[in-house]
Structure 1
Amino acid sequence: MEQNSTGSDTRWSVIAFAVLLTALAATSLYNYLLFHVITELVAVGIAIAVFTVAWNARTMRENSYLLVAGTGLLFVAAIGLIHTLAYDGMGIFAGYDANLPTQLWVASRYLLAGTFLAAPLLLRKNPAPRWVFAAFAGVTGALLLSIFAVPVFPDCFIEGSGLTPFKIISEYIIVALLALGAVAVYRLRDAFSPRVVNHLAAAIVVLMVSE
């Protein structure tokens, strides 16, 4: 009886997800900017939820993977939110062109890939939560400063020319970092349950394909 209930719940969850995904795809046909804002805000909301769980569980952790990954996702979401606001057509950051949101996107992807690589590498070191938070805050601040205050972050999009070599090469570097993160998780698989390892690996593979 209980197995039937679980199977039914899973089936309804899949159906609900499919309906929402279809509605979101339909939104992109109506207005791409609206579609972009919705998808980015959903991603930001999920990242904040993961951080909330990770931070509240910081005293109960058996290893630091969840803490590092959750904290990193919070700052990835912060850059992602700025990317959303800076997107072409939003009209919030006056004086900037499409290069700004592209730079912010690449910066957030580097931070995301770095997070999934750092999390397994720091798994057994159990760094203090405040230092993890401070480290990600420092890296995020440096990235934003390099884009806004001291513009040394390489151009990623040039009007009339399109994507720059830096942006294109960065995508491959980010995929490589994610792959290293997946390998690191697999090598430390004894620290997780098999189900968790499979889900983490699947999530990282999806990120690699999306890049």
Structure 2
Amino acid sequence: MTVADPTLRVERTLFREGAALVIGCDEVGRGAIAGPVAVGLGVFLPDVRRMPSGLRDSKLLSEQRREELHPRVLGWAPHSAVGLADNAEVDHLGIVPGLGLAATRALEALVTQGVPVEAAVVLLDGSHDWLTPALAGWPESSRPHVITRVKADRDCATVAAASVLAKVHRDRLMIEADAVHPGYEWTSNKGYASATHYAAIDRIGASALHRWSWLRQPALF
């Protein structure tokens, strides 16, 4: 089945309706059993240029293609950030609050870059707004407006860009972690569940980077 490239139609509609900024938002690592969850944000202005050629949802791209696109996405988005919630935080809070924590950290990074996030519309992939509850502790005047769109990572270029930023950032972390905690094949599975990943846990025990409450056995370290 042919998958259409994402476009800027939704974003340009938001700009016509008065948005000063659009922030594409997507997460990676939700279903992993090791490592952090990551939320990528890409900031775009009304004069946004044509998206980088070949940009798609990160799940539809090879690892090599994501790496090739990554610097071009960084150059396309005037500001960007990736926020993380580590495995211990995911275990303690749960996955949805963990996503919210990672996203608020990414938004805080944008604020430090001087981005007026309170003037932004955040375009969030999916049907569930898990971000707005995470911002409950922020002054209402400083919160961005969040809208959800199913398949935004596939259809909306700004969200596809955010997905590439988050995926590349998290994958690099898991590759680095494989050198510290070898044996789980994180260079290939990036911490996601697989038969070989579970077999390694059965053989050598869980590491300090595993989501212990998600495993079939207690952590052994």
Pair in the same fold by TM > 0.5: no
Larger radius of gyration, structure 1 or 2?
Answer: 1
Relative to total residues, which structure has the larger helix share, 1 or 2? 1
Relative to total residues, which structure has the larger strand share, 1 or 2? 2
Q: TM-score, normalised by structure 2?
A: 0.29
Q: TM-score, normalised by structure 1?
A: 0.30
